[in-house]
A and B are shown apart, each in its own frame.
Chain A
């Protein structure tokens, strides 16, 4: 029986705690008596008969007719799926999307459906490479559909392949992929890694354009999303749900298939990363020592390559299909069941180790903007109720934060770092002054459409992601970060954890309470 997550009160006998530092990790001693560490629940047991569960979900959907009854000869069927940003790290083959889509195709073949398109719902993310598509969908689907041109990736800058469906009562434009909008049935295959994913966000964000996205990817919405992991208190989700209503009213028929995974994040040699430190075996300790020492001497490029080659032994814990909202309610329950940890009260300082990966740098580089997004956008928002850190508190992250950018994946990030951040770090100011220029830049559009580049506006969105944390905290410190780069982000660099606590004492006093988020594996703190 997996153990639930728990909060450890640090005392003198507590061993040093693991902190991620990009492509390496360190052990840090936290002050006894006033520190606590939040550990994620252990991975839930997986469904044994995955294919059987998928088939059952498709034959017994929630608030919709069974999938075979909705399929008929001569129909237009579109299958959209989540892109490379999920899950993290990529899961061992076969990916769950492959298994679900194969099951859908089985039923489509039985029903005599010929016109099937498979679309990667990547919104403004970068295109997936052939290798990534093969990993996600499997060789069978790739070889069957890609050569026919019926497996492709959504292009948010292709006016000919977008359909404008109208506005929400709040004046938000809704524009989505034309093929998806005009299909007799849109089957969306999702992976719900965190509570933020799924629901109408899949279609209304994944298959939409900048014209639509700007209505919810802006500082105002982000600040009023408390948090992204709590759909009912998230403006981001409310906006997506309103757009979902426009989709329904426009006659877009969506059959949503959502899956949840357990938090089995690292394969056996790296298993210690998810363990509680006092439970490390001698071999875990040896692995830790050997890997940290080796990684210190390894060129960063090689270290990245090693880490990005890790395939997580994630297993499916649930699959449900049918009506978007009804399905998502159950999915969210499953995510919470795996990830929720009860925490009492807020803290003065929230510490977090930033790992090598985020949804936006798969097979790429976690550049300084993504470091900010990981810390302030994701980890800070891993809460329900209220933030883990009190208003006016301090966040301490550990990461090398080098000014390294992937020139193919993140071209606009480079200019954002050099031009926009040199001017302002205020999300509101940059959205007014700079966003449009980047969003409409023809060169960035060209790179997004024809290479593997994120859209020009994407670094803005990453920055907005951390808007609430920027407003909420009075100081952000990065331990081990390149000082010049950290200062460009508007944060404070520190060499060691002790230095960081010393720097924080200006704001939170000499004996602040400290909470460390021991993640990954992923968890959501239910703060009361």
Chain B
């Protein structure tokens, strides 16, 4: 509606803001002045000349305390984040298809399902979010994620975000330190399941990396079974070095829970976990029977890819990617019986 010329003057929004600012300044200025005049202890102490202030131990990195993120209010908020925006975004970007959860059904049916250690391969930042929405209940709602202390916990805001939205706990990439393993043992004793990337970081070239012994060590130390998981496709959507994610489809295959055998050391158990993830990868790219046959013949393609380097390695990777969509998994033709006409 057009404004009438004789309408009373009304202040613009800018004028209103300026007036509000003036008013705020009028109130706060005397208080600030008085505080400044009074100095310490209202202000930080000044340091005497020549004295060194002792270094305050950093509360970031592996030392970051995440216990607040496992308390009820944070859990409530996280549930909202994971089941709301995260699920929506991840499903929109990756459309994950989940296989093999029936392999956990025996444990799922128990009155008190035991905590587990999930060990997926790692190609993308999307992996954690994909796992956060695809791990079956009851483990999903009590899942902590082992995240690289040097990457996710180097700044306070990053640490808070990771703890709140993913229930991440800081862990050293190279060695599972005593402090981290103690904390994880306590968490598992408390009924929390753990998700840890045994490769230690995202794949640099699309192929996997050798598994580090952390998951096997933690399993042996805590008694929790290890569930191998293969995530297929996230690397192509948002792999290392990509600036923004692409839309596509992914697949998550869960394997049978594994435990260390009698007299099996951590290294051997870790190798077995790696072999199980490799076989799931094969199963994901071909089918269950082919993967089983190749595994029996010890012909499974290793997660880490072929030994050779350079373009042949990339070439082999592209072949592997093709198998995922155009390999043996074709749509079944309807087989009508031959009626002899």
Residues of chain A at the chain B interface (Cβ within 8 Å): 48-51, 92-94, 98, 102, 105-106, 109-112, 114, 116, 130, 138-141, 143-149, 152, 155, 158, 160, 446, 449-450
Check A147–B330 contact: CB distance below 8 A.
Answer: yes
The answer to whether B99 has its CB under 8 Å from any CB of chain A is yes
- Select which of B292, B296, B330, B339 is within 8 A of A449 by beta carbon: B339
Check A109–B296 contact: CB distance below 8 A.
Answer: yes
Complex interface: chain A residues within 8 A of B339 (CB)? 446, 449-450
CB distance from A440 to the nearest CB of B (A): 15
Check A144–B288 contact: CB distance below 8 A.
Answer: yes
Complex interface: chain A residues within 8 A of B293 (CB)? 109, 112, 114
Check B330–A143 contact: CB distance below 8 A.
Answer: no
CB closest residue in chain B, given A106 = B292
The answer to whether B106 has its CB under 8 Å from any CB of chain A is yes
A109-B293, A140-B283, A140-B287 given; A146·B336 CB < 8 A: no
Check B329–A143 contact: CB distance below 8 A.
Answer: yes
Check B337–A155 contact: CB distance below 8 A.
Answer: yes
Check A147–B332 contact: CB distance below 8 A.
Answer: yes
Check A450–B337 contact: CB distance below 8 A.
Answer: yes
Distance A148 CA – B331 CA, assembled complex (angstroms): 10
A109-B295, A449-B339 given; A144·B99 CB < 8 A: no
CB closest residue in chain B, given A116 = B289
Check A149–B102 contact: CB distance below 8 A.
Answer: no
Contacts A105-B288, A147-B331 aside, 12 further interface pairs with beta carbons under 8 A come to A49-B106, A50-B106, A92-B105, A94-B105, A106-B292, A109-B292, A110-B296, A111-B296, A141-B289, A449-B337, A449-B339, A450-B339
CB distance from B302 to the nearest CB of A (A): 18
Check B287–A144 contact: CB distance below 8 A.
Answer: yes
Check B287–A143 contact: CB distance below 8 A.
Answer: yes
Check B296–A140 contact: CB distance below 8 A.
Answer: no
CB distance from A24 to the nearest CB of B (A): 30
Pairs across A and B, CB under 8 Å, 10 listed: A49-B106, A93-B105, A109-B296, A112-B296, A114-B293, A144-B288, A147-B328, A149-B335, A155-B337, A450-B337
CB distance from A100 to the nearest CB of B (A): 14
Q: Which of B82-130 contact A (CB under 8 A)?
A: 99-100, 102-103, 105-106
CB closest residue in chain A, given B335 = A149
CB closest residue in chain A, given B289 = A144
Distance A49 CA – B278 CA, assembled complex (angstroms): 25
Distance A147 CA – B329 CA, assembled complex (angstroms): 7
- Select which of A49, A105, A138, A155 is within 8 A of B292 by beta carbon: A105
Complex interface: chain A residues within 8 A of B71 (CB)? none
- Select which of B99, B102, B329, B330 is within 8 A of A94 by beta carbon: B102
The answer to whether B290 has its CB under 8 Å from any CB of chain A is yes
CB distance from A25 to the nearest CB of B (A): 27
Complex interface: chain B residues within 8 A of A149 (CB)? 335
A140-B283, A143-B287, A450-B336 given; A93·B102 CB < 8 A: yes
Number of A-B contacts (CB under 8 A): 66
Complex interface: chain A residues within 8 A of B296 (CB)? 109-112
Complex interface: chain A residues within 8 A of B335 (CB)? 149, 152
Distance A449 CA – B102 CA, assembled complex (angstroms): 32
Distance A328 CA – B191 CA, assembled complex (angstroms): 43
The answer to whether B297 has its CB under 8 Å from any CB of chain A is yes
Distance A51 CA – B336 CA, assembled complex (angstroms): 35
Complex interface: chain B residues within 8 A of A140 (CB)? 99-100, 283, 287-288
Complex interface: chain A residues within 8 A of B256 (CB)? 51
Distance A402 CA – B316 CA, assembled complex (angstroms): 63
- Select which of A106, A112, A158 is within 8 A of B337 by beta carbon: A158
Distance A138 CA – B105 CA, assembled complex (angstroms): 13
CB closest residue in chain A, given B110 = A48
Check B102–A105 contact: CB distance below 8 A.
Answer: no
Complex interface: chain B residues within 8 A of A116 (CB)? 289
Distance A112 CA – B298 CA, assembled complex (angstroms): 11
CB closest residue in chain B, given A50 = B106
Distance A212 CA – B15 CA, assembled complex (angstroms): 98
Complex interface: chain A residues within 8 A of B330 (CB)? 147
CB distance from B134 to the nearest CB of A (A): 15
Q: Which of B242-268 contact A (CB under 8 A)?
A: 256
Distance A92 CA – B296 CA, assembled complex (angstroms): 30
CB distance from A60 to the nearest CB of B (A): 20
